[in-house]
Amino acid sequence: MVVGVLRTLSLSTAKRAQKQGAGALEVRIDLLPEEDRSITKISDFIATLHLPVIITNRKHEEGGAFTGTEEARIALLRRVLESVEVAAVDLELASPEPGKSALVATATSWQVSVIFSYHDFTGMPPQTELESIITRMFEEGASVAKLAVTPKSFGDALGLLELTHQLAREGKRIAILGMGPVGRHLRVVAPLYGSVLTYGYIEGEKPVAPGQFSVRELTSMLAKLSIT
């Protein structure tokens, strides 16, 4: 599924994303202007959307813009979950306890999928470590295990595709995203091997991750490559 990333509470931008082919929207709370980070504004906006919504409040250490305390960051996500219907919440695996477990429990009680995420903007761990990270994600309650890493060679990229294919065949829901020049093609190719999510920026907006394609580009390329 192609996910359009929203960095403003703009209904016109959301409609553009849908028109460009997005199957879901990610509301990046951390990228919203400060005056829009209220529960009321966020919830009222999400309630107007006609696509499944993922809510994310990315911390600064993993490429986001939220600079407050971890308690405040996770509490904001919990309050959104409790006030409006969303499809999924994205939370970094490295988030501290007890907030992480509390958020998973809240999501579970509202039947909201949990996307545990891991980011490496400079490289990627060895395959065995990636497998351990993914195992931990599912053990801690992930519905989807999401890895966004930066391969340095096509051999690295091939290893990610093999891992994606293996886990997908085991029935695990995994999202593999490649960043940087070498990893960029994985945003299009990994879904063919079983990656369940790929993220694009909405034309007229800026990319939010290195190597990101637009929603329109992803939709077009996936349609051309699809074998179904």
Nearest to 54 by CA among 15, 82, 91, 83: 91
Structure tokens at 183: 């990893």
In angstroms and rounded to an integer, the radius of gyration of the C-alpha atoms of the chain is 17
**CA-to-CA distance for 174 and 123, rounded, in angstroms?**
19
Report, as residue numbers or ranges, the catalytic residues.
119, 146
CA distances to 88, 148, 153, 158 from 52, in Å = 8, 21, 34, 31
Could you please report the per-residue DSSP string of 92-150? ETTPPTTHHHHHHHHHHHTT-EEEEEEE-SS----HHHHHHHHHHHHHTT-SEEEEEE-
